[in-house]
Amino acid sequence: MKKNYKASRFNALTNTEEDGLILFNSYTGALADFTKEEKEEVMGYLKNQPGLESSPVKEALIDHGFLVKESADEKKRAEFLHQSLHRTDMLHLILMPTEACNFRCTYCYESFVRGKMDENTVSGVKALVRERITTLNTLHISWFGGEPLMELDLMEELTSVFQEEARDHSVSYSADISTNGYFLTTEVFHKLLSMDVRQFMITIDGVEAVHDKRRFLIGGGKTFSEIMENLKAAKESTENFDLSIRVNFDEDNLKETEELTQYLKEQFAGDPRFGILFRPVGRWGGEHDEDIPICSHITANEKMWQFTENAIDEKLHMSSMIGGIMNPAGSVCYAAKPNAFVIGANGQLYKCTTALDADVNHVGTLNADGTMDLDYDKLISWVTSGEETDAACQNCFYRPACQGNHCPWYRALTGDRPCPSEKNNIKKVLKLVWKNSLL
Amino acid sequence: MRIVRPAVSPNKNSGRILKAAPGNLK
């Protein structure tokens, strides 16, 4: 029997520079390009024009989800995808081996009231993983803080337990780290690789003079040259890794980013292990919030992608985070995922890594025996505040990627929809992902 | 035609840190 197909409601499309077509589907994460000559045929299938016979192009459109069966209920598909986040065979722990930091960045929202993770909590983390590992397929650890590398010994101690348990139970283990990069010497870098840390996020806010005015040591000491030496040494490694260089921008360093791109190009252009990520600084609860010259929402959105395009034009790769965000459920924040927890240095359990002082974010405590005392009402408020009650999200082409849950805290505070910039600028971003794929 | 990114099974992201607030948090 001949099957009838329709265009997926989760498609987005734009043109290439040669007047070809770029097609994206947020339910499958697929992205394809078509020549100017193929475009008419593709648009014919998407508009369900009669008389079009099957072809390799049509088969590809079906295989990658751009065309779906006439009978498919795509809203139900999105609902089912959302439910799959409740699977219990995945665990994502965001660990703070310390809440202290050797930096005092001007726009930081953290308060550094606690130091190294206490012994009860260390025991609790180990016991929690040992207890959960038997039902897991995937364990992912995010090393966070504070500056996690201030407690590298503790990271090693915990990792040896994670790796051993994962190996014994055939669980896929992976880890990432957010670090200021100051302590990331060659020796430390390779130690982290052996600890299965393959994804790195390191912030550089401008060329030396600009960066050192924004991201300095306690007491004001410079940090740029140390970090750059470490990054250059990492580049010499033959190992595979994925390092995002994050550039946080506001009105103070906005005009300096072009100079930074030129500098980074000299170091990292053409090496796909290094990707660049531009993000606007926000007032996220730090003590210097009122002093931050934040960009307007419009400027931030425009500049984020303009800077990215400039970088790609200079053969710098775009951070893999962008591609990850555009996967199914890829834009859902860990704060909205039932199987993700932030564990503070004192065993405090959080959902969100920014609202650390908010009562609703204190969702429980981790005991030394690995049990969690959870306040389910607080937990529920984080994981059920997305598309469930938002008709606009339910009808959105980007729904499978973000589920209305890109930032549940922003929605809770402002009442506004926390749409990701990738969605708001989808045509621009598709062009950039496409351009980046040609590097 | 070029498949830049293939379809992934919808049942397959394990999580990374991207503090993603699209604006001020206060």
Domain A73-439 of CATH type 3.30.70.1520: no
pLDDT at B26: 65
Average pLDDT, integer, range A407-416: 95
User: In this model, does residue A1 exceed pLDDT 60?
Assistant: no
Percent over 70 (pLDDT), chain A: 98
Average pLDDT, integer, range A66-71: 92
For an interface test with A, the pick among B8, B12, B16, B26 (most A C-beta atoms closer than 10 Å) comes out as B16
Which among A282, A327, A434 has CB closest to B4?
Answer: A434
CA A314 to CA A263: how far, in whole Å? 11
CA angle A386, A387, A390 (to 5 degrees): 105
User: What is the least distance, in Å, from the CA of B9 to any CA of chain A?
Assistant: 7
> Which residues in chain B have their CB less than 8 angstroms from residue A433's CB?
4-5
A174-232 pLDDT per residue, tens? 999 999 999 999 989 999 999 999 999 999 999 999 999 899 999 999 999 999 989 99
Residue of A nearest to B17 (CA): A142
CA A203 to CA A108: how far, in whole Å? 12
> Which residues in chain A have their CB less than 8 angstroms from residue B7's CB?
25, 28-30, 63-65
Locate all alpha helices (DSSP H) within A195-325, ordered by sequence.
Answer: 208-214, 224-236, 257-268, 297-313, 320-325
Residue with the two structure tokens 């969690």? A372
Return the domain boundaries, chain A: 5-72, 73-439
User: What is the least distance, in Å, from the CA of A40 to any CA of chain B?
Assistant: 13
Q: Dihedral, CA atoms, A95, A219, A283, A181, nearest 10 degrees?
A: -40
pLDDT band of residue B15 (cuts 50, 70, 90) is low
User: What is the least distance, in Å, from the CA of A413 to any CA of chain B?
Assistant: 7
A316-332 pLDDT per residue, tens? 999 998 999 899 999 99
Residue A114 CB-density burial (10 A; 0-12 exposed, 13-18 middle, 19+ buried): middle
CA nearest A261: which of A321, A333, A310? A310
A377-405 pLDDT per residue, tens? 999 999 999 998 899 999 999 999 999 99
Could you tell me which residues come within 8 angstroms of residue A195 by beta carbon, excluding any fewer than 6 positions away? A155, A156, A159, A163, A175
A360-377 pLDDT per residue, tens? 999 999 999 999 999 999
Which among B7, B14, B20 has CB closest to A64?
Answer: B7
pLDDT at A219: 97
User: What is the least distance, in Å, from the CA of B22 to any CA of chain A?
Assistant: 6
Average pLDDT, integer, range A346-361: 95
User: What is the least distance, in Å, from the CA of A140 to any CA of chain B?
Assistant: 7
> Which residues in chain A have their CB less than 8 angstroms from residue B1's CB?
32-35, 38, 56-57, 60
Given an 8 Å threshold on Cβ–Cβ distance, is B13 in contact with A27? no
Given an 8 Å threshold on Cβ–Cβ distance, is B10 in contact with A81? yes
The DSSP bridge pattern shows strands A274-280 and A317-318 to be: parallel
pLDDT at A288: 85
Residue A240 CB-density burial (10 A; 0-12 exposed, 13-18 middle, 19+ buried): exposed
Given an 8 Å threshold on Cβ–Cβ distance, is A33 in contact with B1? yes
A238-271 pLDDT per residue, tens? 998 999 999 999 998 998 898 999 999 989 999 9
Given an 8 Å threshold on Cβ–Cβ distance, is B7 in contact with A413? no
User: What is the least distance, in Å, from the CA of B12 to any CA of chain A?
Assistant: 8
CA nearest A119: which of A349, A356, A367? A367
Given an 8 Å threshold on Cβ–Cβ distance, is B3 in contact with A81? no
For an interface test with A, the pick among B3, B5, B8 (most A C-beta atoms closer than 10 Å) comes out as B5
Average pLDDT, integer, range A275-303: 92
pLDDT band of residue A18 (cuts 50, 70, 90) is confident
pLDDT band of residue B14 (cuts 50, 70, 90) is low
CA nearest A179: which of A140, A145, A131, A223? A145
Average pLDDT, integer, range A75-102: 93
User: In this model, does residue A341 exceed pLDDT 80?
Assistant: yes
Average pLDDT, integer, range A95-104: 97
Could you tell me which residues come within 8 angstroms of residue A414 by beta carbon, excluding any fewer than 6 positions away? B23
Which among A201, A400, A409 has CB closest to B25?
Answer: A409
Which has more pLDDT, A52 or A389?
A389
